[in-house]
Amino acid sequence: MGGPALAQSAPMLRRATLLLLLLPGFALGQTIGGTVTASVTTPATATQGNRADCASTESKATWNIAATGVTIATGDKWRLATASSTGCGTTVPTTYIQETLATGLTQSIPGVFVNTMATGAGVGSCDQANDVQVALCAYYLPGGLVPTVVQVVAGTFTFQLAKPPAPNITGVSPGDGQLSVSVTPGTTTATETATTGVTFTVTCTPPAGGAAVTATSSAGNIVCGGLTNGTAYTVAAAGRSSAGNPGASTAATGTFTPLPFLSFWDIYKNDGGVEAGGCGTGGAGALAPALALLGLLAARRRRS
């Protein structure tokens, strides 16, 4: 009773078992855990690229895959693709960045063109005002074949496209062989929106023929050092975003001249003082406090 039906079903059971062996992802609904990150070669900024990287046909990134939930076998592949921030999707894409043999659950894949990453994710413009986050998708292809059920390791990457506004120069203080430049962040505009992680570069430029000196720091007093005393310098400052997008420059009005520091004694002598000075209890030594006072008064007179 039921013998013929069982006999007829035996080949079907064998075929189903074979299908389970050949397509474990389909049979078990297998998924992959883990993460994918990407680092751009220049600048070496993890998980983000700038405007120049986005537009370049030469700038490259390294993808780092850390997968779980599968056993890598000979002939398996990773298919690399990017998508919008909504995610990697439920089908293996037929348009992708590249395929590479899978060598393990942890694998670095260098030489991925950043511009292709942007194009694949639908980044419309590399010079837009706001940053764009995209999805990194590494699809697992057992035996190099597209599985019925999507198996993908996902991560995110930011195209840091915003640039900073031109900064403000609120003051320049000359010193001995240097200029101290006070810099504050500028006001954001519709096209200049970067404010976090911005650094500022001050450029001190001598007359034609001389080499400019630069100094970079966060907002505040930024010092151009190694300048020539008595030489008039022009001063400018510009911001740069965390991923390296340059902003517009601001120039200070006029020129600024580094000068050596003068002691009270130098000021006194330059103003016509004739006493020799010294540390004795009489003569010129006794005049030291008075000379110091005269020097102080002279310094005030020169500043007024």
Backbone torsion region of residue 25, taken as left when φ is above 0, otherwise alpha when ψ lies between -120 and 50, otherwise beta: alpha
Q: Please give the Cα distance from 4 to 117 (Å, whole number).
A: 58
Residue 213 in any domain: the answer is yes
Q: What percent of the chain has pLDDT over 90?
A: 65
When pLDDT is cut at 50, 70 and 90, the band that residue 265 belongs to is low
Return all residues near 241 (Cβ < 8 A) that are at least 6 apart: 50, 160, 162, 163, 164, 194, 197, 198, 247
Q: Please give the Cα distance from 251 to 235 (Å, whole number).
A: 6
Can you list the alpha helix ranges (DSSP code H) found in 58-177? Answer: 114-120
Question: What tokens were used for 288?
Answer: 């030291």
Could you tell me if 149 and 95 lie in one domain? yes
Could you tell me if 140 and 197 lie in one domain? no
Coil/strand/helix, residue 168: strand
Could you tell me if 179 and 124 lie in one domain? no
Q: Please give the Cα distance from 72 to 17 (Å, whole number).
A: 22
Q: Which pLDDT tens digit goes with each residue over 95-136?
A: 999 999 999 999 999 999 999 999 999 999 999 999 999 999
Is residue 41 predicted with pLDDT exceeding 90? no
What is the model's pLDDT at position 195?
A: 92
**Closest of 104, 31, 100, 23 to residue 71, by C-alpha:** 104
What is the model's pLDDT at position 210?
A: 87
Tell me the CATH number at 232. 2.60.40.10
CA dihedral of residues 300, 302, 303, 304 (deg, nearest 10): 90
Domain limits at 53? 32-159
When pLDDT is cut at 50, 70 and 90, the band that residue 9 belongs to is very low
Strands (E) in 7-85, as ranges, are 33-40, 48-49, 60-68, 77-83
When pLDDT is cut at 50, 70 and 90, the band that residue 24 belongs to is very low
Is residue 72 predicted with pLDDT exceeding 70? yes
Q: Which pLDDT tens digit goes with each residue over 218-238?
A: 989 999 999 999 999 999 999
Could you tell me if 109 and 223 lie in one domain? no
More confident: 270 or 89: 89
What is the model's pLDDT at position 78?
A: 98
